[in-house]
Amino acid sequence: MTAGALLQISGLTRQFGGFAAVQDVDVSVWPATIHSVIGPNGAGKTTFFRLLTGILRPSRGTVTFDGHDITGARPHVISRRGLAQSFQITNVFPRLTALESVQIAILARRRRSLDFASLHQRRVTAEASGLLKEVGLHQVADAQAQTLSHGDQRILEVTLALATSPRLLLLDEPTAGMSPFETERMVSLVTRLAKEHGLTVLLSEHDMDVVFGISDEITVLHRGRVVTHGPPEQVEADKDVIEVYLGGEE
């Protein structure tokens, strides 16, 4: 393992029959950084994220998080280690309010059931309210998740992941479908979480302005393999990246 890396991925491979969706991927993610994974459609980004979160098991290779081998571990085990991924709120808690959704995420972390009469529950409510205020959703705390704007729903998804107290947050296309205003809001939130809370972020994103604007490191995938990785200015100038990702255009 690379000394100092929070997440170390070595030789990660996932095959579906004779097809390798991810092949021999090596990536080091450093604490308190924003690390983006980019690549054209079919590059293997979604499979890569599913391998990290335990949704898929690798064919070979290792994933080490905070010094612990989590290769092939179940999603709830990985989450309790401190690696969390946002998920679509409208597919999970559409009729719950924003506040109730965050409360459930906190209770899941603490392995407790819902009991609105208890002192413990009042503390959970206070913690959930504080998280919503931090991400700018306190004014819609009592609104059903399904009635929120698209931008607010995506931010609520991030809030649910934050409620698990992660050390590393995985974000898969966090600005997809957003207006320029909503995108700017999400970018500001992610940047602030990384800087103020020391949160490590692993990000998959199609918007290159976002990627090159906030990333400390970038890994480029193409056909399941790493094409290159490094700081934004290095990746942006890489001729292989221009060829496989930007279509050969300068």
Beta bridge partners of 68: 65
pLDDT digit of tens for each residue in the chain (250 aa)?
566 899 999 999 999 999 999 999 999 999 999 999 999 988 999 999 999 999 999 999 999 999 999 999 999 899 999 999 987 666 668 899 999 999 999 988 876 655 544 556 788 999 999 999 999 999 999 999 999 999 999 999 999 999 999 999 999 999 999 999 999 999 999 999 999 889 999 999 989 999 999 999 999 999 999 999 999 999 988 988 888 765 644 4
- Taking the whole predicted model, whether its pTM rises above 0.85 is answered as yes
Q: Where are the domains of the chain?
A: 1-82+166-250, 87-165
CATH architecture of 1-82+166-250: 3-Layer(aba) Sandwich (3.40)
Asked whether the beta carbons of 140 and 152 are under 8 A apart, the reply is yes
